[in-house]
Structures are given as C-alpha cells and as structure tokens.
C-alpha cells in the first residue's frame, strides 16, 4: 500500500537499528526483522553457520556469490574472508541490487573487498575474467534461481573459472530443489558431494 518494497522496508529497519560498520550486528538486525516483521528469503542464521564454518575451513581468496538479493549472504561471506580476499556478487534484479549495495556498504565493506555486479548470471559469468578481473574462484555460493544452478556450474567449468579444489556451496537443493544440479554434481566425477541438513530460513 505504501509503494515501498519489503526489501526497502527491511533496509529502513537496518538503518534505524543496526550499528554501521559492524557486519555481525547488521546480520543480527536483519534476523530480528525477518523473525518479527516480514520474511525475506535470506540465508538466515542457522544455514549461515554452515557457510561460516566452510569459509573458515577453506580460507578462500576469491569468492563468487550468485544471487545477492538484499545482501545478507554477501555480508555473511565478506565478514568471513581472510585478509586480502575479494568477493564478487551477482544479482539479476536491479531493485534488489540497489538495496544490497546499501546493505553491503552499511556493514562496512568497500568496493575493493566486495564488488556487486548487476546482471543475469549467464551473461555475467563469461565476462568475469576479462571485465571484472576474477581469474578463478576458490569458493562459489549459489543462492539464485534453482533452475539456473546446473547451467551456471557448467558455465563456470567451461570458462575455467573454478580453481583447483574449489568449493561450490548451493542453497536449497532439496527444497524447493535443484535435482538436475544435484544429479550432475554426484555423477559427473568432478566433485565430492556432501548434503548439509538444515531447516528453511526463519
């Protein structure tokens, strides 16, 4: 009725309650909004702990996120990066990207650490090396349209954008589900697969 989107309302709540430059507090404030006010399809704190653990174990220097949405996952990833690492995040919807940009900067991450790329993943991936300077990704987090998971994984392979031993973490592969992606990852012989059991966000 107000003409203000859910995502914009969430950001206004962050502005009023989150501590600027404190990524952990930004995420906690986001969680408060989603638990108490309106649901947003962000990673959330339960699955967020899986992401944090894997980042800590892998310590990747080049991270690619497909599906920025409001920037929750981006902030989660960025706060877990080792010194000198860089995160590239891709969002197809310009309205969501506009919110995410403000969330990322509110959390204290500058362009040198987190680059937000607006565009469809199938168009952005082939340009990542030449236009954005990503030689190879050590860690990929997929949280965009589930039907795009397999196509985009194969695009990353064909453009040789996955580093040796890279980790590919894909959200919601069981529900709503990405069966073709899961089948390929398990049977193509290129990956060792593990399914992390978790509840839906919030």
172 has catalytic annotation: yes
Q: Say how far apart CA 39 and CA 110 lie, in whole Å.
A: 27
Q: What ranges in the chain are assigned the alpha helix state H?
A: 6-17, 23-36, 44-58, 72-79, 94-106, 121-124, 128-132, 149-158, 179-187
Residue 156 has phi, psi (to 5 degrees) of -60, -40
171 assigned to active site? yes
- Cβ atoms of residues 29 and 17 within 8 Å: yes
Residue 78: φ, ψ to 5°: -65, -40
Q: Which of 172, 186, 190, 194 is catalytic?
A: 172
For residue 136, indicate whether it is catalytic: no
- Both tokens of 10, joined, read 């969430």
Catalytic residue among 101, 138, 152, 171: 171
Of 146, 152, 157, 186, which one is the catalytic site residue? 146
- Answer yes or no: 152 catalytic: no
Q: CA 146 to CA 141: how far, in whole Å?
A: 12
Asked if residue 176 has a cis previous peptide bond (ω within 30° of 0), the answer is yes
Query: Which residue of the set 101, 138, 143, 152 is catalytic?
Result: 143
Pick the closest to residue 144 from 173, 104, 103 (CA basis): 173
Q: Which residues are catalytic?
A: 143, 146, 171-172, 201
């Amino acid at each position: 009725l107000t003409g203000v989107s859910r995502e914009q309302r969430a950001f206004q709540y962050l502005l009023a309650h989150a501590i600027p430059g404190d990524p952990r507090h930004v995420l906690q404030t986001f969680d408060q909004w989603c638990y108490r006010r309106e649901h947003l399809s962000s990673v959330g704190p339960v699955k967020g702990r899986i992401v944090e653990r894997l980042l800590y174990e892998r310590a990747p220097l080049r991270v690619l996120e497909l599906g920025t949405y409001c920037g929750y996952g981006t902030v989660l990833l960025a706060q877990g990066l080792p010194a000198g690492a860089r995160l590239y995040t891709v969002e197809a919807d310009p309205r969501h990207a506009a919110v995410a940009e403000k969330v990322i900067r509110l959390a204290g991450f500058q362009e040198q650490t987190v680059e937000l790329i607006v565009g469809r993943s199938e168009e952005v991936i082939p340009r990542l090396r030449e236009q954005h300077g990503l030689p190879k990704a050590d860690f990929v987090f997929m949280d965009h349209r589930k039907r795009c998971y397999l196509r985009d994984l194969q695009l990353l392979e064909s453009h040789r954008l996955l580093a040796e031993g890279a980790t590919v973490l894909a959200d919601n592969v069981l529900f709503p589900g990405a069966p073709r992606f899961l089948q390929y990852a398990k049977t193509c012989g290129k990956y060792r697969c593990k399914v992390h059991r978790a509840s839906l966000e919030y």
